[in-house]
Chain A
Amino acid sequence: MEILKQIRYKPARVAGGYTDRILRVDLGSGEINIEKLPPDFKTKYTGGRGYALKAIWDGTTGQTRYDSPENILAIASGPLGNEPGFPGTGKFIVGTISPMTDTFIDSNVGGHFGPLSKLAGFDALAVTGISKEEVVILIDGDTHTITIAAAPQYDKETNNGALSYGDRLLKEVNDGQYSDCLAAVSAGRGALHSRYGVIHSLYYDIRRHRIRAKQAGRGGTGTVMRAKGLKSIVVRSGLPKANGNNPVDKKGVRAAGRALKQVISKADPTQLHLSAWGTTILSEYMDKFHIFPVDNYQYGQSPDSVKLFAHVFLDNYFSHRIPDGCYYGCNLACAKGAEKVALTRGPAGGRKVSIDGPEYETVGAVACMGIFDPQYVMEYNWYCDEYGIDVISTGVTTAFFMECFERGYLSVDDIGYELKFGSIAAADRLLHEIAGGRGFGRVVGQGVARGKKWVAKKYAARNKASRDEVMAELNKFGMEVKGLEFSMYITKESLAQQGGYGFSLKGPQHDEAWLIFIDQVYQELPTLEDKAAALKWFPLIRTWFNATGLCKLHWIDVRNPEAAATDEPSKNLPTLAHYVDYLNATTGSHKNIQDILDDSERLYILQKLINLRQGKGTRASDQLPLRAMAPAFFNEYQSRADYYDRWLGQNGGIKKLPASPKQRHKLLIERRRRDYQQLCDAVYELKGFTPDGKPKRETVARFALLDEQAKRLLDEMGV
């Protein structure tokens, strides 16, 4: 390997969950620096997302775009990551300015990279600059070196593959051996050609004896990585993983971990049973309650959905009886995988491959394209991973263009072939075109927001129509907000989740708030005030998980039986109490739940400021496509006409329903639009924002964020 720059360093010891060091690498100048953080930094920014936000706020400007040299690729664990005694501590955050949204995006991902980075001496990495040649970074806590090296060249297939390349590199830097003392992040060929490239988190699974992959999937983090000329980062540390955080109170950590593990062991097997089925179990429940995003979110159910239910993958693909946690100590172990799956399509057709997944989101993305073939789900999963592109954005963007074709906005002349819902041949062809930057894939690789503009221009010119009018139609079913595609849930029937997606600072990804069942099914949020309160509380507590290096599933998807006796069971407070105990035992703090909500709110407001600076922080940026609120077209209304008429009768504020179905459909749309605007008003008020969705000056000041940049920004915004 050709070394371009190397420094020696002394790894800082982890104490109370922190190293208090950030590794800064400038790929433009080749400079490598270790920044020692001031003592109050962790108090104010916690870790994970908080560290990434602070780096982006200080180091970029409103003009920074994903491929600007000053853009920062921040990778950060958190104080509570890296503890096998507590379940779900392998998470880390990748944060940057997104090629999709032009504002801050972060994606949380499991694996060993975050824990090993900390053991190698760093709470966070911040990569800036653009390299003239393709490079890799090696952080070696054992040899005490940090290296920028020319990216090793292998055969063409390996060089192009996000999985293959990272796998090969992890072996090469360790004398041809896999080891769980090493982990990597990598990006692939698809990230060069699309805006939604992912970053893989690669780690060695000692049970499956192979490298496994999880993804920082949303918002194009891999596209940023490849734009910097960076193919992979490898980290190594042979330090013991047990007590790796050197917690202040080891017994307290063990007690909190034991308590949470007991809840998981008792409750998960009788609830979702994620430990056996992974998140594919969700498909059945989403379909049952009209939430499965069939045909670009038009229909929430399909008679064919049963072909994609969890038992199909469990019976035919998943390896059985293997604990599949993505980090040591996790007894929820939802990271399911399959071995020796024979590919039947594409350039790797005929090969047998190992596949990590599918997760629910992958299954949903395939249903979104109207496809109900489990073998195609597996192959779509593998190809997206090997190319390094986001299964969600790929599926939703493809589905959008399928609908454009079916509604007559595009023709075979535009695409090159018939792109219809349910066509595996067309979807598969397009997938490879996206990854290779070929044919119509060059358009689809830009995502829905840019795709809408492309279609509007083409259609308006061809039909001598108004481009604005065409855009208005496309905005009804182009499923994006702020430039990011929706994750795989239909929100039409849950006003709270419409807010969960619309207000989400990064765009419509459910890791900020997922309130569909609480609202639509459990009916626990009957009033506008209840919904608004949930839209404040849940994003804050979820932010805390993303700041501390923790997986949320143990809290949010396994209901502690003791929660039933609390006032708000959906908050699962008895389980959260174990997390607070774990925090205090690790860091020596004496916090309660309100304290951590306050810590999170500071980060939330900082992210809001970045959005404001980047042009994505006002009420206009929180608006939803019509289909997220109501049946956008008459066919959708007709598919559940009785239900919608009943809804109008109960919620429409009218004495008598209009006579014609088309009038009822129109009225339904009006009511749903009105409701969402009322929700905006209630939520902004509760969050300390102006009616236009901007943070009030006193809100920013309350969290000690009113620095010079914030003052200027608020002045410019008239706040």
Chain B
Amino acid sequence: MIVSIEFLGMQRTMTGADSIEVPITKKSRVDDVLEYVRSNYPQLQLDEGMVLVTVNQEIAPRDRVLKPDDIISFLPFISGG
């Protein structure tokens, strides 16, 4: 089972990738995937106050259990100029 991590905006520049695939188990949660990304891309700042996590384009809590083929992205705060 895998999920996709989609890198947006400056994350793409920092990681050099549009997206990556991450293996999961039936019990994997958003936090587990975050940990995977942190360890592979320490340059990304993914603290709670810095980004929101979306799963399939909806805001997701960090303890949400993931399903195969979920698409996860990290969204900066956008509030309009």
Contact = CB atoms under 8 A, between A and B. Distances in A.
Given A272-B76, A521-B59, A285 B9 contact: yes
A442 interface: no
Contact of A557 (B12, B44, B50, B80): B80
Interface residues of A, number: 43
A559 B9 contact: no
Contacts of A521: 54, 59, 75
Interface string B8-44: 1110110000000000000000000000000000001
A572 B8 CA distance: 23
Nearest to B76: A271
A289 B57 CA distance: 8
Contacts of B48: 564
A72 interface: no
Contact of A311 (B12, B54, B77, B81): B12
Given A271-B76, A289-B57, A556-B81, A561 B9 contact: no
Given A271-B50, A271-B51, A553 B9 contact: no
B45 A270 contact: yes
Contacts of A272: 9-10, 76-78
Interface string B45-57: 1011111101001
Interface in A262-309: 267, 269-273, 276-277, 279, 281-282, 284-285, 288-289
Contacts of B78: 272, 282, 285, 517, 557
Contact of A514 (B44, B54, B80): B80
Contact of A510 (B8, B50, B52, B80): B80
A552 interface: yes
A510 B81 contact: yes
Given A285-B8, A285-B9, A559 B77 contact: yes
A282 B9 CA distance: 9
A598 B6 CA distance: 43
Contacts of B76: 270-272, 285, 559
Contacts of A277: 9-10
B81 to A, nearest CB: 6
Contact of B57 (A273, A288, A360, A556): A288
B50 A553 contact: no
B80 A564 contact: no
Interface in A475-513: 489, 510-511
B13 A311 contact: yes
Contacts of A270: 44-45, 50-51, 76
B80 A556 contact: yes
Contacts, number: 88
Given A284-B8, A521-B75, A561-B49, A516 B57 contact: no
A564 B50 CA distance: 9
A621 B14 CA distance: 47
B59 A561 contact: no
A90 to B, nearest CB: 15
Contact of B81 (A284, A310, A552): A552
Given A285-B75, A559-B77, A564-B49, A310 B9 contact: yes
A517 B9 contact: no
A27 B6 CA distance: 58
A522 B59 contact: yes
Given A270-B45, A559-B50, A563-B49, A281 B10 contact: yes
B50 A561 contact: yes
Given A561-B49, A563-B49, A273 B10 contact: yes
A93 B58 CA distance: 38
* Centre residue among B49, B58, B59, B81 by max chain A CB count within 10 A: B81
A518 interface: yes
A565 B47 CA distance: 12
A516 B47 contact: no
B26 to A, nearest CB: 26
B6 to A, nearest CB: 9
A522 B57 CA distance: 10
A281 B81 contact: no
Contacts of A514: 79-81
A561 B48 CA distance: 8
A454 B48 CA distance: 52
A636 B44 CA distance: 37
A556 B80 CA distance: 7
Contacts of A310: 9
B9 A281 contact: yes
A523 interface: yes
A557 B76 CA distance: 9
B75 A557 contact: no
A576 to B, nearest CB: 12
B62 to A, nearest CB: 12
Nearest to A310: B9
Contacts of A289: 57
A517 B51 contact: no
A561 B9 CA distance: 19
B79 A523 contact: no
A553 to B, nearest CB: 6
Nearest to A285: B78
Nearest to B77: A559
A407 B52 CA distance: 41
Nearest to A565: B49
A390 to B, nearest CB: 16
A570 interface: yes
A281 B47 CA distance: 21
A534 B9 CA distance: 28
Nearest to B52: A522
A562 interface: yes
Nearest to A524: B59
Contacts of B81: 279, 360, 510-511, 514, 552-553, 556-557
A684 B25 CA distance: 51
Given A273-B9, A284-B8, A561 B47 contact: yes
Interface of B: 8-10, 12-13, 44-45, 47-52, 54, 57-59, 75-81
The 8 closest A-B pairs by CB, nearest first: A514-B80, A561-B49, A270-B45, A559-B77, A564-B49, A271-B76, A273-B10, A556-B79
23 contacts: A270-B50, A270-B76, A273-B9, A276-B10, A284-B8, A285-B9, A285-B76, A285-B78, A288-B8, A288-B57, A510-B80, A514-B79, A517-B77, A521-B59, A556-B81, A557-B78, A557-B81, A559-B49, A559-B50, A559-B77, A559-B79, A564-B48, A572-B79
Given A517-B77, A559-B76, A559-B79, 7 more contacts: A269-B10, A273-B10, A279-B81, A285-B8, A311-B12, A521-B59, A559-B50
